[in-house]
């Protein structure tokens, strides 16, 4: 039997969302139909990796690589700042 490479979209057994693995075609089909995974070569066409805004993904670091400073020091609901 041939193996099908899938990328998980939900956690399943020991696999976390985002991981890629190969399975027998019957098991891979079950994972895909159940919404747990997509075929690895079809993942790019299903979801864009740029995020919801359509722009490139960014982090909180500035141009010099330093993280942006927090200005809000009010405690959260658990009482921690």
For residue 53, is it within any domain? no
The tens digit of pLDDT for each residue in 2-23 reads: 899 999 999 999 999 999 999 9
The tens digit of pLDDT for each residue in 49-74 reads: 444 444 444 455 555 555 555 555 56
**What pairs with residue 15 in β-bridges?**
12
For residue 25, is it within any domain? yes
Residues 77 and 17: their CA atoms lie apart, in Å, by 29
For residue 64, is it within any domain? no
Cβ neighbors of 20 (< 8 A, separation 6 or more) are: 5, 6, 7, 8, 40
Is 20 within 8 Å of 6 (Cβ atoms)? yes
CATH code: domain of residue 23: 3.40.5
Expressed as residue numbers, the domain containing 27 is: 3-46
How far are the Cα atoms of 27, 52, 68, 78, 81 from residue 71, in angstroms, in the given order?
A: 50, 26, 9, 19, 11
Q: How far apart are the first and last CA of the chain?
A: 56
How many domains, the chain?
1
pTM above 0.85, yes or no: no
């Amino acid at each position: 039997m041939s193996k099908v490479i899938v990328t998980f979209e939900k956690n399943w057994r020991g696999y976390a969302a985002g991981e890629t693995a190969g399975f027998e075609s019957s098991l891979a089909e079950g994972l895909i139909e159940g919404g747990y995974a997509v075929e690895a070569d079809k993942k790019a066409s299903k979801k864009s990796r740029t995020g919801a805004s359509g722009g490139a993904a960014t982090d909180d670091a500035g141009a010099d690589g330093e993280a942006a400073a927090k200005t809000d020091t009010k405690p959260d609901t658990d009482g921690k700042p």
